[in-house]
Amino acid sequence: MTQNANLQKLSEAGVSVWLDDLSRDRIESGNLAELVATKSVVGVTTNPSIFQAALSKGHVYDAQVRELAARGADVEATIRTVTTDDVRAACDVLAPQFEASNGKDGRVSIEVDPRLAHDADKTFAQAVELWKIVDRPNLFIKIPATEAGLPAITKVIGEGISVNVTLIFSVERYRKVMDAYLAGLDAAVAAGHDLSAIHSVASFFVSRVDTEIDKRLDKIGTPDALELRGKAGVANARLAYAAYQEVFEVDARFHALLERGARPQRALWASTGVKNPAYPDTLYVTELVAPNTVNTMPESTLDAVADHGEITGDTTSGTAVASQQVFDRLASVGIDLTDVFVVLENEGVEKFEVSWNELLDATAEQLAAARES
């Protein structure tokens, strides 16, 4: 098997290609291993929506659900067992990439219960529990970047546990995420942990920013407003990358930790499937190429990049001034950016809660059916 040329170019430009999807069928059929071998995939992310979709399709989980039902497992124990089994198996598939990259890639993420997004203590407790259950060094625990999530991130990192911080929408919040990571590394030093074994990524959502802002630009309807459609998501991510460079390439605080073996918290571009068919379907990949980043893609986006993605090297470094001009123009036409980011975070948490509740309901039905059979 040979690697796709476009995705290989993306990897060579410093972007780790991760798949934003996981299911048992994908693991057992060999599809995940095939994507590693042919499409440069070196990581996998999951979320409640992905698990809900996986468990609701087909019958691949039926036998395990029947077994758990016979043992008297409740709904939450069933979900925890099924999802952690899938993540552990995916970690094993990606173990060679983990070893080859010295722990940088070969990663699989599992998210804490989204209903805990505003409870730091319970988020921390579940993060530790999931880390122990999966029991793989190439695991990432996903914790949302809510105000309550920030102290949980620090505490979890301080325990020596690797974290994927999710649901980041604004550069302002992203700076707090980086601060939380650095504080966690300080705590890890104090606790005697090996900093080189602690990894983190910060998942900055892209397409949802355009979806929300475009809706508001359409409502304003002036030529100046309409001209800005489809520009905010990329500009926002590029400003985030400039903030990443400032903290992890320049800041003295991180360099002191770097000397102790610390790793930079890489920026990860999430929500990279294009929602508006008027935009190129590779937009959030080709326009966000930068060294030491991750792009986690739904399979449709991965296939689009493989087929016709034009990778021309770094398209992100040095774009901060132009990106800030986009944001200045958005403000000048009447976009309340503070409100945009509040709405996006609230909606993000809510969507994952809805998916989690749907997963609970579907699993409850499966357990009931298994007990009756």
pLDDT at 338 over 90: yes
CA distance linking residue 305 with residue 209, whole number of Å = 21
Catalytic residues: 142
**Residue 262: φ, ψ to 5°:** -65, 150
**What pLDDT score does 307 carry?**
98
CA distance linking residue 53 with residue 367, whole number of Å = 17
**Residue 37: φ, ψ to 5°:** -80, -25
**Largest CA-CA distance found in the chain, in angstroms, rounded:** 64
pLDDT at 74 over 90: yes
Q: Are 162 and 109 in contact (CB under 8 A)?
A: no
* For residues 71-87, average pLDDT: 94
DSSP state of 196: G
CA distance linking residue 213 with residue 336, whole number of Å = 9
Q: Of the ranges 33-42, 140-149, 330-339, 349-358, which one carries the lowest mean pLDDT score?
A: 349-358
Burial class (CB in 10 A: 0-12, 13-18, 19+), 53: middle
Burial class (CB in 10 A: 0-12, 13-18, 19+), 371: exposed
* For residues 152-161, average pLDDT: 98
* For residues 78-88, average pLDDT: 96
**What pLDDT score does 125 carry?**
98
Name the band, by pLDDT with cuts 50, 70 and 90, for residue 253.
Answer: very high
pLDDT in tens, 198-217: 999 999 999 999 999 999 99
pLDDT in tens, 4-42: 999 999 999 999 999 999 999 999 999 999 999 999 999
CA distance linking residue 328 with residue 99, whole number of Å = 44
Share of the chain above pLDDT 70, in %: 100
Locate 186 and state its tokens: 């300080």
* Average pLDDT, rounded, for the chain: 96
CA distance linking residue 282 with residue 48, whole number of Å = 25
Q: Are 288 and 269 in contact (CB under 8 A)?
A: yes
pLDDT at 373 over 80: no
The CB-side HSE value for 39 (13 A sphere, CA atoms) comes to 25
DSSP string over 199-242? -EEEEEE-HHHHHHHHHHHHHH--HHHHTTTT-HHHHHHHHHHH
**Three-state SS at 304:** helix
Question: According to DSSP H, which parts of the chain are helical?
Answer: 5-12, 24-28, 31-38, 48-56, 62-70, 75-93, 95-100, 120-134, 149-158, 171-190, 207-220, 223-226, 232-245, 252-258, 283-286, 299-308, 320-332, 337-372
Residues in the chain: 373
Locate 158 and state its tokens: 């301080």
**Amino acid identity at 202:** A
Which residue bears the tokens 């030093």?
189
Which residue bears the tokens 């929506």?
49
Name the band, by pLDDT with cuts 50, 70 and 90, for residue 159.
Answer: very high
Instruction: Supply the pTM of this predicted model.
Output: 0.96
